[in-house]
Structure 1
Amino acid sequence: MSLPRLLLPLALLLAAPLVSAAPAAVVQTPQVRAELVAHAPEGVGAGKPLALGLVIRHQDGWHSYWKNPGDSGLPTTLAWTLPPGVAAGDIEWPTPKRLPVGPLMNFGYDGTLLLPVAVQVGPGFDARTLDIRLHAEWLVCKEVCIPESGDFVLSLPREQATAGSAALFEAARAALPRRVAGVSAAARIDGDSVQLSVKGLPADWQGQALDLLPATAGALRNAARPEAAWAGADWNARLAIDPQRTAAPETLELVLTRAGEPAGIELAAAVTGAWPALAAPETTETAEPAAAAPLPPAAAEGGLLPALLLAFFGGMLLNLMPCVFPVLSLKVLGFAAHAHDRGKLLAGGLAYAAGVVVSFVALAGLLLALRAGGEQLGWGFQLQQPGVVAALAALFTLIGLNLAGVFELGSVLPSSWAAARARHPLVDSLLTGVLAVAVASPCTAPFMGASLGVAMTLAPAQALLVFAVLGLGMAAPYLLASAWPRLAGWLPRPGVWMLHFKVAMAFPMFATVVWLVWVLGQQAGIDGAAALLALLLALAFAAWAFGARTLGTRARVGFGAVAVLLLGATLAWALPAWHEAPPAAASARAEGDWQPWSAERAATLAAEGRTVFVDFTAAWCVTCQVNKRTTLSRADVLAEFRSRGVVLLRADWTRRDAAITAELARLGRSGVPVYALYVPGEAAPRVLSEILSPGEVRTMLADLPPAAAPVGAPA
C-alpha cells in the first residue's frame, strides 16, 4: 500500500475539526463556548416579551469585539432564520472595554458576554413551537486572532415560559449604554480634531473622570484619549480625528463611560464644520485583506498534548520530504566518517539534534514576534524574500564546490579558524542541523499542518514548545541511529571510497541550487534568475581563486582581485533585480484549467453556488511541486474535476500575499501545501492531506454530483 493511502485516514481525521458539527444550541472551540439562549417569560406570542441572544464565554486571555472593533478586529455578526411573522432586531451591544494592542486600540469583551436581540412575534404566528436557526461569526483574539463561526438551533414552546437565562439577560441589560433624559451633545470640527460639548449629565457623574468610546467607526483616532475638562456642569473634550479616516459622519455616535459603572451613556452629537479630506485607500500588498467569512479553526480538540504528538511525528516524516534530501547526504558523510567510533557518533547526533531544535525554536520565535507585530506571515515565510533564497543558493553552491574539491576550507579560513574547526567537529554537526532546518522549513509534512495551525493559537511558550518537539521529531531518527551500536556493522570502514562518495554528494547540493534559482525566477522574473546565476558563477570563481591548493600566492592575489570585482558587479546587478517584483501577469497567470486565486474571485464563485478546489502552493515548496506534477496536472484527475463542474484555483504564496495568509489562517494552517475543496452548502471546506495521490482526489470528489454539462477551463 502506498504512503499516501496509508496517510489518508489520518489526514481525514486531522481535517475533521474543520467540518462543522450538526447545528446545536452550543458550539465549543478551544477559545470560546458559544450558546444560543432565549428569554420568553410569558411564552411565545404576539405582544409578549421575547429576546434571543448569543452567549460567548471566552477562555482566559481571549476576547471578541464590539460593533466598532477599533483599529483591528471584526464585530460579531448574527444571521437569523425565523418563521414568517417573526422578526429579529439588531444586536444590543453592551458597553465594551478598551483593549490596547501596542500603539493601537481595540474595543471588545472578555469573560462571559451575552449579545441580546429583541424579537417581535406577529399576530399571525400560531405554530406550537418557535423554531430558530442562527449562523454566527465572531473573531476571537489573544496573541493571535482566529475567525470562528457556528450554526445554532433552538425550539421554544409557544405556551411555556422560557426563563432559564434570565440572569444573563438581566446582566446584559444592565450593561447596555443608556439614553439619559436631558443629556445633549454637540460636536464641531476644529482642524484635525473634534470639539465635543456634553450638557445635562447626571449629578453623580459631574466632576468625575470620564472616558469616551466612539461607536461610529472610521472617524476618530481610537487610541487617543479625549483631552477633557469640566466647565461647571458641562463636560468638554477634544477628540483627535484619525488621519487615515474612512468616514465623515454627520452625527457622531459615542458612549461616555465612568469607572465602576457597568453601563455607559449614549450620545448622539450632530457635527458642524467640514471634515478633513478622506485618506486615499491603501493599495500596497501589505494592506489588510477584505474580511472573508470565517471558518471554524482546525485546532486539535485536546489542546497542547495532541499538538505535541502531531508535531513529533510530523517532524519525523519531514525527513522524507524532497527538500531535505540534500542535507541528509551531509549526515550520511558524518555517519560514514565516525561509524566505528561510537562516542563521536553519539556526540555528533546530539549536536545535530541541538542544531535542529534550537533552529526550529529560533525561527518560530521570529515568526511569532512578527505576527504579534501585525505581519501577515506563515511557516516558510523566510523563503518569500528573494534575498534569502539567493543566500541559500550561494551557501549550497559553496557546499557543493567544497565537496567536489574545487576549494578547501583550510585554504580560505585563517589557520587559527581551521585549527579550531578541526578541534571542534561537533560544531559541524550542529551547523548541519541549522542548515537542515533552513532547507526543511518551506516543507509541510503530514501531521505538520494541523500541529502548526494549533501552535499559532497557543500562548507563545506553548507554541515554542510545539516547534521544539517538531525539531526533536526531525532529529530523532539520526539521534536514534547515533546511539545504536549495530549501525557501525552496516557501514564499511573509512577508506578511498569515502573520497568518491564525498564528490558524489556535491551533486544533490547543485540540484538544490537549480531549484532555488527556479524559485527566485518565480519571485523576481527571468532577470532576477539570470542575476543570481551570474552571482553564483562569480562566487564559484572566487572560491576557486581563494581556496584552490594548486594556486600560488601571486596567482591567488591576482585571481582574487578579479573575483572581488566580479562579485561586486554581479551584486550591483542582482539586488535591484530581486527587489522589484515581476509583473502581475507573470506572477499570477492561468495554467490550463487552473486560474489565479483571489478572495474576490472565490467570493464570486461561492455566490454563484460553484464548487471550488484551491491549491495553496509556492515555488519554494518542493512538496507542492511534487504533488502538482504527480497528481494535480494528470489528465485523468483534471478530467474528473471537469466532470464534476469543479472550478480550479491556484493560490500562489511564493511572494508574500496577505490575502492568502489570511485564508490559510481561516483554514487553521500556517504553511503550504494546503488543498481545500469548497462545496456549496457545507459550512467548512474539505481539507486534504499534504501528500496527494490521484486516488485521494477521486475519493474526495466521489460524492459530488456530475456537472449538468462538463465544463472546460473556468471563465
Structure 2
Amino acid sequence: MRFLWKKINGNLCRVLQGIIFVFFGLFTLPYTAQGSSSPWIEEEFSRVRMVTGQETLGETGKVMLGLQFELKEGWKTYWRSPGDAGFPVSLDLAESNNLKSWQFYWPVPHRFMLFGLQTFGYSKEVVFPFEIQAEDPQKDVTLRGTASYLLCKEICIPFDADVTIRIPAGEAFPSLEAGIVDTYVNRVPGLGAEVGFDITDSFLVGNGENLVLKVYGSAKDQGFQKPDVIVEGPPGFSFSAPEVIIDDGGAKAEFIIPVSIAKEAKGVLEGKQITLSLVDGAKGTELKTVSKYKDVPIGTSSGILAFLPILGLALVGGFILNLMPCVLPVLSLKLMSVIKHEKSDYQGIRSSFVATSFGILTSFWILAAAASLLKVAGFSVGWGIQFQQPLFLIAMSGIVSLFAANLFGWFEFLVPGGVINRAVNASDKKGISGDFLKGMFATLLATPCSAPFLGTAVGFALARGTWEIFAIFTFLGIGMSLPYLIVAAKPRLASFLPKPGTWMIWLKSVLGLLLLGTVAWLLSVLFVQVGWVATTLVTVLLALGMAILAVKSLTIGKRAVAISLLAILSLAVPYKFSVSSEKASVSAYWLPFAQEQIATEVNNGKIVFVDVTADWCITCQVNKKLVLEQDEIESLLQKEDVLPMQADWTLPNETITAYLESYNRYGIPFNIIYGPGAPEGIVLSELLTIDEVLSVFEQASGK
C-alpha cells in the first residue's frame, strides 16, 4: 500500500511539474516569441530574423532593434558600400503599423579579397541595429519588413525575407535579446562605446597613376592589433587595400592607400568628400572629410603658390556679388551720387568711389575678424548667419527704410554724430564718409547672397586659420570693389552717364520703391522667425515713422500719395506672408531634412535630393524660381523613387550647420543629390541650371 502511494505521489508530482511548465511557457510565450524576436526565416545557406532590445515601447516609443543574420561557413553578405561586387543589405518597413520613423545602422565591416577583387561585408553572424520611433507610444507597434540581401561564396544568390514582430505598449524593460543588440550597437562607428583610437590626419600624395591617399591613426591603451582603413569616395575613384605601418608599440599607424581613377571619373579627387572607416577587429571609427593635399605653410613659396587659386576664386566670387539682386539697391544709390557730380570733377568722382571701395573692404575685414573670434571661441560660423537674428533684420529694415525716405525727399536733416543719418544723407553729402558707409552697407546686403566661386572660397577660409580668413575675405572685398575701383582709376567713364535733369526725380522714386521692396523682403524673413504679431508691429512702426517724415516734408497733395504708398507697403508685407504660406502647401512634396535617413533610402534604391535653403538667401530664391519650381524638375522630384528633402536654415540650426560643415561648406545655397550611383552624394553649383540637375540625377541613379 505504501509502495502504491509513493508511486501515485511521484506521478502526481510529475503531472504538477508538467502543468507548471506548460503554464510558464504560455505566460512567457508573448515575450519570447513576440516581444524579443520574430521567427527565423530559414534559407539553405542562412537564416534571418528581427530581434528587439526592449520588450515594450516605453514612454518615448523609441526602441533599438536588430536584423540578425546567421550565415553558413564561407558565405558572406554586404556592407553599405559593397566594393567591387555585391549589393548592400536593405530593410523595407513601409507596411508597418504605428511607425513614425526609423534609422538603419551599419556595424564595422571586414575586407574580403578574391581573385584581386575586394568587397566589404560580413561572415558567420551579423546584427544590423535599427532604431524605431512609434507614432503613438501608447499603442502597439507592428513591424512588417522585407529584408533584401545577397549571399556570396563561389556563387552569389539574392534573397528576400519577410519578417514581422510586434512590440506592445508599456513600461520599458530589457528583452532576452538585449545583449546581442547592444553588442552590435557598440560596433557601429559613433553610436556605441568609445573605441580607443582615432583618425588623426589624411592627405593625398602624387597624381595620376601614382596618386596615393595617406591616413594616420592613433590608439590608446592596448594599441592597434590588425587595423584596416576602408575608403568611400566619389564615383570613378577606387581605393585599394592599404599598406599598413604600425609604429610606437602599436600606438600609431600609417595607411598608404593607392587610388585608381576610372575614365568616367569627373574632375580630380582633391576637394571631394570621402568617408574613412578605421577598423580594428570588431571596433571602428568613421570620419567624413574633404580630400586634400598636405597643407603647406602659407609663408613658404610653395604654400603661397598653392594658395593663389583660392585667392583667385575669392576675387571672382566677390566681383560676381555685384551682379546679384541683393546689392542692387546700393548700386542704384551709388549711381545717383555719380550723376550729381560735375562731369569735370574727376577728383571728386575718384574720391567718392575709392571711399566706397574702402567701405566694402572694411566691412569684409570686420566679417573676417568676427568669424575668427567666433571660431576661436568654439562657435559655428557661416556666410550670412546674421540674417538668422531678428534684431539684425529689424535694424536693417529701419536703415533701408531711411534710405528710401531719403530718395523720396522725406528725410534731409542731419543729426550731429549720427552714423545712420550720415549714411542716409550720403546722396547729398559731399564728404567721403557717406560714400564709405555706402560701401559698408553694400557688403551687409550682399551677405545673404551666394555666387559661383564664393562658396568654395568662403568654405576654404572658414576651415582654416585667422591668416587665411583675412586673406580670402580681403580678396572677396577687392573683387566686390572692382567696379568702383575701375571708375576711380578712369573717372572719365562718368561722362557716359546722362546729364542731371527732372528725370532724376522720377528715377529717385523708382529707386526708393526698390528699397521698399527690400524692406518687404526683410520683413518676410522676420515673419518666419518671430511670427506675424511681432512682424506686424514692426511693419506698423516703420510705416508710421515714414508717414511722419512724409507729412513733415511734403505738400498736402503729395502727402496723400505718400501715405497711400505706405499703406500699400503695409498691406504688401502680409500678402507676401500669405503667398509664402500658399507656396508651402503647393510644395508639399518636400520632406523635412533627416540626415539619418539618407543612407537607408539610397540603399533602398532611391535618389535623395537635399536642398539647404533659407528665406533670407536671395540666391536660394532665384534657384527655386528658375529651376526647382519649373515643371520639368517638379515632376522629377515627385517620382516614386525620388525623395526630396529641404533643410530650412532661416533660423539657427545646429544639425544643418554640422551637415554643411561636413561638406566644408559654410554658406548657402547648398544642393546635393545622393543615389545608388553616388552614395556619398554629388554637390551641385550655387546657381542651379535645369540641365545640371537632370545630368546629376542621371549620374546619381547609377543607370
The TM-score, its normalising length taken from structure 1, stands at 0.54
- The structure with more helix, counted as a fraction of residues: 2
1:648 aligns to what SS in structure 2? strand
Question: Following superposition of structure 1 onto structure 2, how do residues 598-677 of structure 1 map, counting pairs within 5 Å?
Answer: 598-643=594-639, 645-677=641-673
- Structure 2 counterpart of 1:537, from 514, 539, 543: 543
- Structure 1 counterpart of 2:382, from 378, 381, 392: 378
1:469 equivalent in structure 2: 475
* 8 Å contact from structure 2 (residues 673, 700) kept in 1: no
Q: Report the alpha carbon displacement of residue 677 of structure 1 after superposing the two structures with TM.
A: 0.6
Distance 1:319 1:175, change over 3 A: closer
* 8 Å contact from structure 1 (residues 376, 661) kept in 2: yes
**1:358 is aligned to 2:362:** yes
Consecutive unaligned residues of structure 1, counting only runs of 5 or more, are 1-76, 98-110, 121-131, 138-149, 156-163, 177-290, 552-569, 571-584, 708-715
1:274 equivalent in structure 2: none
Question: Aligned partners of 2:497, 2:251: CA distance in 1, in Å?
Answer: 77
Distance 1:649 1:491, change over 3 A: same
Distance 1:303 1:587, change over 3 A: farther
Distance 1:410 1:592, change over 3 A: same
2:411 aligns to what SS in structure 1? coil
2:270 equivalent in structure 1: none
Distance 1:399 1:174, change over 3 A: closer
Q: 1:399-421 CA distances to partner (integer Å, 9 max, x unpaired)?
A: 1011101221248989xx98998
1:387 equivalent in structure 2: 391
Q: Report the alpha carbon displacement of residue 174 of structure 1 after superposing the two structures with TM.
A: 6.8
* 8 Å contact from structure 2 (residues 676, 700) kept in 1: no
* 8 Å contact from structure 1 (residues 593, 648) kept in 2: yes
Q: Report the alpha carbon displacement of residue 647 of structure 1 after superposing the two structures with TM.
A: 0.9
Question: Aligned partners of 2:251, 2:524: CA distance in 1, in Å?
Answer: 63
Q: Report the alpha carbon displacement of residue 364 of structure 1 after superposing the two structures with TM.
A: 2.6
**1:118 is aligned to 2:225:** yes
**1:309 is aligned to 2:312:** yes
Q: 1:326-372 CA distances to partner (integer Å, 9 max, x unpaired)?
A: 11101111221226121111111111111111101212321232233
Q: Report the alpha carbon displacement of residue 527 of structure 1 after superposing the two structures with TM.
A: 2.0
Q: Percent identity?
A: 31
2:246 equivalent in structure 1: 169
Distance 1:96 1:390, change over 3 A: closer
Question: Aligned partners of 1:651, 1:589: CA distance in 2, in Å?
Answer: 16
Question: Aligned partners of 1:418, 1:592: CA distance in 2, in Å?
Answer: 46
* 8 Å contact from structure 2 (residues 607, 700) kept in 1: no
Question: Aligned partners of 2:596, 2:408: CA distance in 1, in Å?
Answer: 51
Q: 1:645-679 CA distances to partner (integer Å, 9 max, x unpaired)?
A: 22111111000011111111112211111111112
**1:324 is aligned to 2:327:** yes
Question: Aligned partners of 2:390, 2:396: CA distance in 1, in Å?
Answer: 10
304-313 or 417-426, larger mean C-alpha shift: 417-426
Distance 1:298 1:650, change over 3 A: farther
Question: Aligned partners of 1:339, 1:78: CA distance in 2, in Å?
Answer: 74
Question: Aligned partners of 1:693, 1:499: CA distance in 2, in Å?
Answer: 39
Question: Aligned partners of 2:294, 2:348: CA distance in 1, in Å?
Answer: 40
Q: 1:365-404 CA distances to partner (integer Å, 9 max, x unpaired)?
A: 2123223323233110100011111111111111101110
* 8 Å contact from structure 1 (residues 389, 516) kept in 2: yes
Q: RMSD of aligned C-alpha atoms?
A: 4.2
Question: Aligned partners of 2:410, 2:454: CA distance in 1, in Å?
Answer: 38
- Structure 2 counterpart of 1:502, from 504, 508, 513: 508
1:453 equivalent in structure 2: 459
2:22 equivalent in structure 1: none
* 8 Å contact from structure 1 (residues 133, 152) kept in 2: no
Question: Aligned partners of 2:451, 2:511: CA distance in 1, in Å?
Answer: 24
Question: Aligned partners of 2:491, 2:252: CA distance in 1, in Å?
Answer: 70
1:82 equivalent in structure 2: 112
Question: Following superposition of structure 1 onto structure 2, how do residues 69-148 of structure 1 map, counting pairs within 5 Å?
Answer: 80-83=110-113, 113=217, 117-119=224-226, 134-135=230-231
Distance 1:586 1:454, change over 3 A: farther
Letter in 2 for 1:610: K
Letter in 2 for 1:118: Q
- Structure 2 counterpart of 1:685, from 665, 673, 681: 681
1:438 equivalent in structure 2: 444
Q: Report the alpha carbon displacement of residue 635 of structure 1 after superposing the two structures with TM.
A: 1.6
Question: Aligned partners of 1:630, 1:692: CA distance in 2, in Å?
Answer: 8
Q: Report the alpha carbon displacement of residue 323 of structure 1 after superposing the two structures with TM.
A: 1.2
Question: Aligned partners of 1:600, 1:79: CA distance in 2, in Å?
Answer: 19
Letter in 1 for 2:112: L
1:487 equivalent in structure 2: 493
Consecutive unaligned residues of structure 2, counting only runs of 5 or more, are 1-106, 124-186, 201-214, 254-284, 296-304, 557-569, 571-580
1:283 equivalent in structure 2: none
Question: Aligned partners of 1:481, 1:640: CA distance in 2, in Å?
Answer: 46
* 8 Å contact from structure 2 (residues 199, 217) kept in 1: no
Question: Aligned partners of 2:307, 2:641: CA distance in 1, in Å?
Answer: 40
Larger radius of gyration: 2
Distance 1:586 1:311, change over 3 A: same
Letter in 2 for 1:446: P
**1:344 is aligned to 2:348:** yes
1:471 aligns to what SS in structure 2? helix
Q: Which has the higher contact order (CA 8 A, sep 6+)?
A: 1
1:294 aligns to what SS in structure 2? strand
The TM-score, its normalising length taken from structure 2, stands at 0.55
Letter in 1 for 2:553: A
Distance 1:433 1:170, change over 3 A: closer
Question: Aligned partners of 1:339, 1:644: CA distance in 2, in Å?
Answer: 64
Distance 1:698 1:170, change over 3 A: closer
* 8 Å contact from structure 2 (residues 681, 700) kept in 1: no
Distance 1:175 1:95, change over 3 A: farther
Question: Aligned partners of 2:682, 2:592: CA distance in 1, in Å?
Answer: 20
Question: Aligned partners of 1:612, 1:310: CA distance in 2, in Å?
Answer: 29
Question: Aligned partners of 1:666, 1:624: CA distance in 2, in Å?
Answer: 20
Question: Aligned partners of 2:390, 2:195: CA distance in 1, in Å?
Answer: 50
2:438 aligns to what SS in structure 1? helix
* 8 Å contact from structure 1 (residues 404, 506) kept in 2: yes
Distance 1:688 1:424, change over 3 A: same
- Structure 2 counterpart of 1:296, from 290, 294, 298: 290
* 8 Å contact from structure 1 (residues 402, 409) kept in 2: no
Q: Report the alpha carbon displacement of residue 587 of structure 1 after superposing the two structures with TM.
A: 13
1:675 aligns to what SS in structure 2? strand
Q: 1:150-180 CA distances to partner (integer Å, 9 max, x unpaired)?
A: 974227xxxxxxxx97xx524243779xxxx
Distance 1:531 1:706, change over 3 A: farther
1:154 aligns to what SS in structure 2? coil
Question: Aligned partners of 2:328, 2:334: CA distance in 1, in Å?
Answer: 10
1:153 equivalent in structure 2: 240
2:513 aligns to what SS in structure 1? helix
* 8 Å contact from structure 1 (residues 588, 596) kept in 2: no
